[in-house]
């Protein structure tokens, strides 16, 4: 029997095992990730740049997120599904609740929002409304323009990050993503909080890790310091498509082994009917 991971299940992992999270934007990817035992599937707004061809995650809409959350939710019978609230979708507590409820209806198990002190009231309101909330601090793609910058490289910023994490925990966040935070400060936050931390580009001391699926399987064709490519999907996909195109042009695919046949006695009737109608023409295969 498949058992869906709960908030409590995820939080207990802080004491026993590293938490695994990957992005998933569609049904087959979610199926495979779940089959591989991934704890959490993040339907991130990174769908915009990785799947939809948008130039920036700030262009992703609630309609986009609802569509992809539903696809992933249909597949995720065990893994916990976390969904991003996109840019401009949580500017007030009421707006955040309305949009979070839409994603939860689409089978998300919780939502993620970016920010620090400025989202404490929203996190408190959502948590008080029984919406599991994951906070996201450090580098925040929705809110940061320009090249990604590592956070926590000076004492003042480090204090802000630690204080912000504590405030978000106090407000009711059940989990917190630490993106591009120096590993020492990420470790300090992880040791200070009672809720789990999920790192991306923040070193090995977080309670878990998240990567964009397209990055970890080698699909993007780009290199990032915080990513290790665990495959070469782009090369393999290109090779497969090239092989297919070559065999079609050569006439070696498909063969009769890839087709179905009509019984001879039935086909005899069709041939006779075509002859009578004068429709056989130059169809030599008939």
The residues annotated with a catalytic role in the active site are 179
Spatial distance between the Cα atoms of 155 and 152, rounded to a whole number of angstroms: 7
**Exposed (0-12), middle (13-18) or buried (19+): which is 18, by Cβ within 10 Å?**
middle
Query: CA-based Rg of the chain, rounded to a whole angstrom?
Result: 25
Say whether the peptide bond before residue 71 is cis (omega within 30 degrees of 0): no
Report the SS3 class of residue 81: strand
Q: Are 84 and 250 in contact (CB under 8 A)?
A: no
The label of the residue with tokens 């393999």 reads 236
Give DSSP secondary structure letters for 108-144. -SEEEEE-SGGGHHHHHHHHHTT--EEEEEES-TTT-
Tokens of 236: 């393999």
List CB contacts of 136: < 8 A, sequence separation 6 or more.
112, 113, 114, 115, 176, 177, 179
The DSSP output letter for 262 is -
């Amino acid at each position: 029997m498949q058992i869906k991971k709960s908030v409590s299940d995820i939080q207990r992992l802080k004491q026993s095992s590293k938490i695994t999270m990957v992005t998933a934007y569609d049904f087959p990817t979610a199926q495979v990730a779940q089959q591989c035992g991934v704890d959490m599937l993040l339907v991130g707004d990174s769908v915009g740049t990785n799947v939809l061809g948008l130039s920036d995650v700030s262009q992703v809409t609630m309609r986009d997120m609802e569509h992809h959350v539903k696809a992933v939710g249909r597949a995720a019978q065990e893994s916990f599904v976390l969904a991003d609230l996109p840019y401009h979708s949580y500017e007030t507590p009421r707006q955040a609740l309305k949009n979070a409820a839409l994603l939860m209806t689409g089978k998300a198990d919780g939502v993620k929002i970016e920010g620090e002190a400025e989202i404490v009231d929203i996190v408190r309101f959502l948590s008080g409304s029984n919406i599991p909330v994951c906070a996201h601090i450090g580098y925040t793609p929705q809110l940061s323009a320009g090249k990604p910058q590592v956070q926590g490289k000076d004492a003042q910023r480090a204090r802000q990050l630690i204080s912000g994490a504590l405030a978000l925990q106090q407000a009711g966040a059940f989990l917190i993503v630490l993106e591009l935070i120096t590993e020492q400060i990420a470790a300090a936050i992880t040791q200070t909080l009672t809720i789990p931390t999920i790192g991306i580009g923040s070193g090995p001391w977080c309670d878990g890790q998240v990567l964009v699926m397209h990055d970890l399987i080698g699909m993007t064709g780009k290199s990032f310091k915080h990513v290790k490519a665990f495959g070469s999907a782009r090369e393999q996909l290109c090779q497969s498509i090239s092989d297919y195109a070559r065999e079609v042009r050569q006439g070696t695919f498909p063969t009769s082994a890839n087709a179905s046949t009509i019984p001879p006695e039935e086909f005899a009737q069709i041939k006779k009917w075509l002859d009578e109608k004068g429709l056989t023409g130059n169809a030599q295969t008939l």
